[in-house]
Amino acid sequence: MATINTNFHKLAGSYLFAEIAKRTKQFAENNPSATVMRLGIGNTTEPLPSSIIKGLSLGVQKLASVATYSGYGDEQGDARLRLALADFYKNRGITVLEQEIFISDGAKPELPNIQQIFGSNNVIAVQDPVYPVYVDSNVIAGRTGVYTNGRYKKIVYMPCTQKNGFVPMPPKEHADLIYLCSPNNPTGAVATKKQLKAFVDFAIKHKSVLIFDAAYSEFISDKTLPRSIYEIPGAQKCAIEINSFSKMAGFTGVRLGWTVIPLELVIEKTEKGEVNKLWNRRQTTMFNGASNIVQEGGLAVLSKEGQRECKKIITYYMENAKIIKKALEKLGLTVFGGENAPYIWIKTPKNMSSWEFFDKLLNETHVVGTPGSGFGPGGEGYFRLSAFGHRENIEKAVQSIQKNLKI
């Protein structure tokens, strides 16, 4: 008789954004005259700039003739795109070899996939609160114990609090795989070089691996803040970086990302290059490469013109962030983030729970946000608003909050 993966039963609830979508749909059905304004999931809204559309179109055109048609590509990704990404790092003074870069179809699937090269007994550590995929996928993979009092057993939670500026210190106890997200989703906090160095030192000492999610790196405007873990000396020995074109280029629906597995990375009983080879083995077995059309679009993103156009859109979203933050502060709310990340992290008023505030905001202002507790126990009492959206919608949402929120 076939059996199911019973780890699914350990999961505390539905996937956060699916739960929000469900509740929002319910609200809209019960209030058909209300216009719901969505500042919940961080979903890009602005059209792709012309240079990128040209790149994607070129990808389509190439499929139309015998001379340029391509079928399966390299599982590791188009060599031209890997090279362009190596240059992307080089322009920042970081050496990443083409062979260390693997093109993916986005960061979200990569974050669980990467676990397959690690033993099932590895202890994981996560920032708390953080993007729920790290925890949920490890629960499904069986790396955690049961869920009690808002926490899974066997996970090391690293608290991100107002006191530590939402950037934790490395854990006191041992951890094998440490997930770091900077700029952080959901708090919008960015770790400094010094703070990341503490994690690199910890990882080297404990022979742990840092899994560094840099999906929001392009939103950093403060030049002193690191945009890659490899800006930290020693990181090549202990860190994997996962990145995405989703937020930097509006590819949330297009799907493209990349993963860096340095040749120098060594873990227990492996030699230099072996972890990279393991991932290559995994990819060649389970992945046929990202779409050739989309990779052509990725090349356009990394071109000079593509970078210039993408920056303009990022600036647009960050202007949204400013508008939201300023309005909330004016209302007397305590607000964080939104300066080097597209997320605004709000302390809920009057010690309301995150879900209570979700209901209040939706009912009173028709604005959808994301309850902080959905990102982990440390997010309780906080609430996230996303700065992705058309300006007029952001302005309407802000006006509605200013006018209708009773605090």
* Site track 175-214 with ligand MLT (rule: CB under 6 A), x = hit: ----------x-----------------------------
CA separation, residue 108 to residues 63, 138, 252 (Å): 28, 13, 10
Q: How far is the CB of 117 from ligand MLT (least distance, A)?
A: 22
Q: How far is the CB of 226 from ligand MLT (least distance, A)?
A: 21
- Count the site residues for ligand MLT by CB under 6 A: 5
Residues 122-181 that bind ligand MLT (CB under 6 A): 131
Nearer to ligand MLT, 55 or 379 (CB): 379
Q: How far is the CB of 336 from ligand MLT (least distance, A)?
A: 16
Neighbouring C-beta atoms of residue 68, cutoff 10 Å: 11
Q: Which two tokens stand for residue 379?
A: 């997010």
Q: How far is the CB of 169 from ligand MLT (least distance, A)?
A: 24
Nearer to ligand MLT, 55 or 188 (CB): 188
Nearer to ligand MLT, 137 or 228 (CB): 137
Among candidate residues 182, 259, 261, the one with its CA nearest the CA of residue 222: 182
Nearer to ligand MLT, 18 or 53 (CB): 18
Q: How far is the CB of 135 from ligand MLT (least distance, A)?
A: 13
Q: Can you say whether residue 234 is alpha, beta or left, with left for phi > 0 and alpha for psi between -120 and 50 degrees?
A: left
Q: How far is the CB of 180 from ligand MLT (least distance, A)?
A: 16
Q: How far is the CB of 250 from ligand MLT (least distance, A)?
A: 12
**Distance from C-alpha of 290 to C-alpha of 75, rounded to nearest angstrom:** 8
**Distance from C-alpha of 200 to C-alpha of 318, rounded to nearest angstrom:** 30
Nearer to ligand MLT, 187 or 208 (CB): 187
Residues 4-63 that bind ligand MLT (CB under 6 A): 41-42
What's at 330, amino acid-wise?
K
Q: Is 392 exposed, middle or buried (0-12, 13-18, 19+ CB in 10 A)?
A: exposed
Long-range CB contacts (within 8 A, 24+) of 313-317? 313/46, 313/49, 313/250, 314/218, 314/219, 314/248, 316/46, 316/391, 317/46, 317/219, 317/342, 317/387, 317/388
Nearer to ligand MLT, 131 or 166 (CB): 131
Among candidate residues 106, 98, 96, the one with its CA nearest the CA of residue 82: 98
CB 373 within 8 A of CB 357: no
| Sequence-ordered list of residues with C-beta below 8 angstroms from that of 194, at least 6 positions apart, any chain | none
Nearer to ligand MLT, 44 or 76 (CB): 44
Q: How far is the CB of 44 from ligand MLT (least distance, A)?
A: 9
> Is 278 one of the binding residues for ligand MLT (CB under 6 A)?
no
Residues 96-115 that bind ligand MLT (CB under 6 A): 108
CA separation, residue 129 to residues 29, 109, 182, 211 (Å): 31, 20, 12, 16
In the bound complex, which residue of the shown chain has the CB atom lying closest to ligand MLT?
Answer: 42
Residues 340-379 that bind ligand MLT (CB under 6 A): none
Where do we find the tokens 């302390």? 347
Residues that bind ligand MLT (CB under 6 A): 41-42, 108, 131, 185
